[in-house]
Structure 1
Amino acid sequence: MYNKVVMIGNLTRDIELRYLPSGSAVAKSAIATSYKYKTQTGEQKDEVCFLDFNIFGRSAEIANQYLKKGSKVLLEGRLVLEQWTGTDGQNRTKHSLRVDTMKMLDSKSSTEGGYAPQGNYDNNPSSSYSKPAPTAQSGQASGGMQRVEQQHYIPEYDINDDEIPF
């Protein structure tokens, strides 16, 4: 079976960071995406999808540090069914996204005085950043344009916020 979800959208609320008893970080928030289409009558419609997500490990701490409500982000992971019992005794369920890879899409200028690094962050326990991928150039894409896919490696630095000059 295959369960993979890729979403690009904006955060609907600030990241909520917690720590498990094991010391591992867990970040929770939600993402909103939209899809625009025209009906048969020509009327413009906008379909919005909201989805809660969870990020674990170092990626959760990075998300908490750099993302805020409204931040644009690409999330890749798998859909999971969460089950719990509510305070009223009723069983509850909801689908959420368990994030494996996160990419911040906001630029430095779009953050209010802060710096949001652009790059891929994955939850691979052996590294807190995704491994660099070689630059690949595919053949002619539709429309006669060439498509270039590139992934940048971002090294891990241990820097305090007090050391950043801006």
Structure 2
Amino acid sequence: MASYNKVMLIGNLTRDPEVRYTPKGSAVCDIGLAVNRVYTSDSGEKVEEVTFVDVVLWSKMAELAGKYLHKGRPVFIEGRLQMDSWEDKQTGQKRTRMRVVGEQMQFLGSPGGDRGPAGGGGDDEGGGYSRPQQRPQQRPASQQRPPQRPAPARQNDEFGEGPITDGMEDDDIPF
């Protein structure tokens, strides 16, 4: 039987990112997301429902989250569900929790978010940032080339968490 494990979330951070490093030096970042859903009940009343989701990010994506995200900032996360289980040392009971392992991340909203005025913007693909528009010098039509977008970098971490794609280099972040 085939299976498919994919999660896409847009929400606001519920706390500042917590970045730590494994003994082998890989960055790990835990974030909490509040995902809102608004719907109309059978009685015609508008209802808002909030779901809180724990997300873990690895490697370069974890470092970027720690550097640029903060509580209240909107973000898009694409990843997969993972079930963690452990034994509680105090009670001896088996505990489990579901969380999302982030495989791609896109910053949304303004870089300053609720921390004051800041520039920002989006592109036509539903979020993120584009570099400030500059007027290029016109070249003859025969010399103009369409802009090319590099493919996202793929790398595997040493914990078997699978491919991690952040698609960004430090030079690509416009703030």
Q: State whether TM-score is above 0.5.
A: yes
Once residues 19 and 158 of structure 1 are traced to their aligned partners in structure 2, the CA distance between those partners, rounded to angstroms, is 24
> Which residue of structure 2 lines up, in the alignment, with residue 63 of structure 1?
65
> Which residue of structure 2 lines up, in the alignment, with residue 112 of structure 1?
115
How far off is 1:128 after superposition?
6.3
Q: TM-score, normalised by structure 2?
A: 0.67
2:154 alignment partner, one of 124, 140, 144: 124
Which whole-Å deviations, capped at 9, do the CAs of 1:108-133 have from their partners, x for residues lacking one?
453636788945xx783179642xxx
Please tell me whether the aligned partners of residues 58 and 123 of structure 1 are also in contact (alpha carbons under 8 angstroms): no
What aligned pairs does 1:73-152 form with structure 2 within 5 A after superposition? 73-86=75-88, 87-108=90-111, 110=113, 112=115, 118=128, 124-125=154-155, 129-130=166-167
Please tell me whether the aligned partners of residues 104 and 166 of structure 2 are also in contact (alpha carbons under 8 angstroms): no
Once residues 74 and 52 of structure 1 are traced to their aligned partners in structure 2, the CA distance between those partners, rounded to angstroms, is 13
Aligned with 2:47: secondary structure? strand
2:11 alignment partner, one of 9, 12, 16: 9
How far off is 1:51 after superposition?
0.6
Which whole-Å deviations, capped at 9, do the CAs of 1:7-29 have from their partners, x for residues lacking one?
00001111011101111000001
Once residues 155 and 123 of structure 1 are traced to their aligned partners in structure 2, the CA distance between those partners, rounded to angstroms, is 9
Amino acid at match of 1:3: N
RMSD: 3.0
Please tell me whether the aligned partners of residues 10 and 73 of structure 1 are also in contact (alpha carbons under 8 angstroms): yes
> Any stretches of 5+ residues in structure 2 without a counterpart?
122-127, 130-151, 157-163
Structure whose alpha-carbon radius of gyration is higher: 2
> Which residue of structure 1 lines up, in the alignment, with residue 141 of structure 2?
none
Which whole-Å deviations, capped at 9, do the CAs of 1:65-87 have from their partners, x for residues lacking one?
01011010000000000111123
% identical aligned pairs: 38
Please tell me whether the aligned partners of residues 54 and 99 of structure 1 are also in contact (alpha carbons under 8 angstroms): yes
Q: Relative to structure 1, is the Cα distance of residues 64 and 116 closer, same or farther in structure 2, using a 3 angstrom cutoff? A: farther
Amino acid at match of 1:76: E
> Any stretches of 5+ residues in structure 1 without a counterpart?
131-153, 160-165
